[in-house]
């Protein structure tokens, strides 16, 4: 392995010198490709943000990541490209897997790992999360990990103190989740506003001029609306699923589970089994801890209020999209009415021309009849041509108006 690493370093240095010397020939390119092939294919870039706001960039493969955050490998598929447009929040024993639009993160009680931190869409989330953590650090909001009951006089008050202390502020994982929801909801809200600003002039132009180019713009607008509505619906459904299940919300309290596990470890370490009195106190501690855990397991008010606030925002965003879709549907109905009216006008014109052709054929038929070389007394009379022609033309015109008036009387024609 040492020889291979040294060979790889020499190859990398050689390729770099060739590029710096202005000779990026095929040899240098082949060397770079060789070095790239040696990189593990499942290695991805992550940013680790700790509770105190400190951050670092890491390149982790699947195996190392699962050991670091203690989650099964199948959960990493949720953060893969296959589920890039899905929205999922999963609770595990020591971590929470968050996949909301472009934010893909693994949250524990003390740190968060963010996938693809160099993306332009993820950078606002990272910056806002850093500001939130630094502000919380300045205010001393990370006191949730310091409530440990060691004195025997405080054992009976452990449950109430534990409940009161953890309800004063949001745990670390909920602060991360809040920033993620705020970023995603703000992003979707911005997309909806852009869609609204684009849809209004396009639809107004379509009502004035029904053309192929305007119809193509409306078709593209409807496609964007459908995709955006599906994305908003996925976020809304995931939040609604969590709000409907108290057990799932309770599983997301990672800080609570960490505190309870630390208390259990401390009590088991500080209680030798040989002392009956200590064993009695240990049983009292465990009972108090179980009582606190039971109370907290049914108390999901913090997360419920957090999710409800952003659920209302996402629901409002969805209603705006539905309003835009209704506006598009109304515009399409109006355009269809216009097209139907024009189609009816064309049909009326066609029928009118048909009636005119029918009445004109009467004059043509009479002219053809007189054109036959058959002996007729009218041929020998003078001044007959003009009255006969005028009479047939007048009769055809009168027949035209009679048929047209009958059609209007029957309601086949509109005025």
- Domain assignment of residue 329, yes or no: no
- Domain assignment of residue 113, yes or no: yes
> What pLDDT score does 107 carry?
92
Q: Which residues of the chain have pLDDT under 70?
A: 1-41, 82-85, 140-168, 264-298, 412, 414-415
- Domain assignment of residue 157, yes or no: no
Question: Same structural domain for residues 50 and 107?
Answer: yes
Q: Measure the CA–CA gap between 86 and 28, rounded to whole angstroms.
A: 41
The answer to whether 413 touches 348, Cβ cutoff 8 Å, is yes
**Entry pTM:** 0.69
> What pLDDT score does 125 carry?
92
- Domain assignment of residue 330, yes or no: no
What range does the domain containing 378 cover?
341-409
What's the pLDDT tens digit per position in 316-366?
999 999 999 999 999 999 999 988 888 888 888 888 888 888 888 888 887
- Tell which of 145, 180, 205 closes a domain: 145
- Domain assignment of residue 138, yes or no: yes
> What pLDDT score does 233 carry?
93
Give the rounded distance of the alpha carbon of 356 from its chain centre.
60
- Domain assignment of residue 151, yes or no: no
Q: Measure the CA–CA gap between 264 and 293, rounded to whole angstroms.
A: 11
DSSP of 164-211? HHHHSS--HHHHHHHHHHHHHHHHHHHHHHHHHHHHHHHHHHHHH---
Question: Same structural domain for residues 52 and 140?
Answer: yes
> What pLDDT score does 9 carry?
52
**Which CATH number belongs to the domain containing residue 110 in this structure?**
2.40.128.330
Question: Same structural domain for residues 50 and 117?
Answer: yes
> What pLDDT score does 219 carry?
92
> What pLDDT score does 147 carry?
44
- Domain assignment of residue 123, yes or no: yes
Q: Measure the CA–CA gap between 125 and 249, rounded to whole angstroms.
A: 23
For residue 225, which of 327, 316, 310 has the smallest C-alpha distance?
A: 327
Question: Same structural domain for residues 21 and 66?
Answer: no
Number of domains in the chain: 3
> What pLDDT score does 19 carry?
38
Measured between alpha carbons, how far is residue 92 from residues 44, 272, 306, 331 in Å?
A: 22, 32, 20, 48
């Amino acid at each position: 392995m040492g020889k291979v690493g040294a060979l790889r370093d020499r190859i990398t240095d050689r390729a770099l010198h060739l590029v710096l010397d202005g000779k990026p020939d095929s040899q240098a390119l082949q060397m770079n490709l060789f070095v790239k092939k040696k990189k593990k294919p499942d290695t991805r870039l992550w940013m680790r943000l700790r509770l105190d706001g400190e951050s670092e960039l890491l390149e982790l493969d699947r195996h190392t990541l699962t050991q670091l955050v203690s989650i099964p490998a199948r959960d990493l598929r949720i953060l893969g490209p296959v589920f890039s447009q899905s929205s999922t929040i999963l609770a595990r024993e020591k971590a929470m897997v968050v996949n909301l639009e472009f934010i893909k993160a693994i949250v524990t009680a003390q740190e968060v790992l963010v996938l693809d931190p160099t993306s332009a869409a993820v950078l606002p989330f990272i910056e806002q999360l850093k500001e939130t953590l630094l502000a919380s650090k300045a205010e001393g909001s990370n006191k949730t990990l310091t409530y440990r009951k060691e004195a025997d006089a405080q054992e009976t008050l452990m449950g109430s103190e534990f409940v009161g202390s953890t309800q004063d502020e949001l745990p670390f994982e909920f602060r991360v989740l809040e920033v993620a929801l705020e970023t995603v909801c703000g992003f979707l809200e911005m997309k909806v506003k852009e869609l609204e600003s684009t849809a209004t002039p396009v639809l107004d132009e379509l009502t004035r001029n029904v053309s192929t180019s305007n119809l193509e713009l409306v078709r593209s607008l409807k496609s964007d609306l459908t995709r955006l509505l599906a994305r908003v619906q996925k976020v809304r459904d995931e939040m609604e699923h969590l709000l409907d299940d108290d057990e799932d919300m309770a599983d997301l309290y990672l800080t609570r589970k960490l505190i309870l596990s630390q208390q259990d470890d401390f009590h088991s370490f500080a209680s030798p089994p040989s002392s009956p009195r200590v064993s009695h106190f240990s049983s009292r501690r465990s009972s108090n801890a179980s009582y606190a855990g039971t109370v907290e397991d049914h108390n999901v008010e913090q997360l419920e209020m957090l999710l409800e606030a952003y659920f209302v925002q996402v629901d409002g965003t969805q209603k705006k999209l539905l309003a835009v879709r209704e506006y598009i549907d109304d515009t399409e109905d109006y355009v269809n009415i216009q097209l139907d009216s024009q189609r009816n006008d064309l049909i009326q014109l066609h029928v009118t021309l048909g009636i005119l052709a029918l009445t004109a054929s009467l004059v043509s038929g009479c002219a053809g009849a007189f054109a036959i070389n058959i002996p007729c007394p009218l041929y020998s009379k003078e001044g007959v041509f003009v009255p006969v022609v005028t009479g047939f033309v007048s009769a055809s015109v009168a027949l035209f108006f009679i048929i047209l008036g009958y059609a209007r009387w029957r309601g086949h024609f509109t005025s």
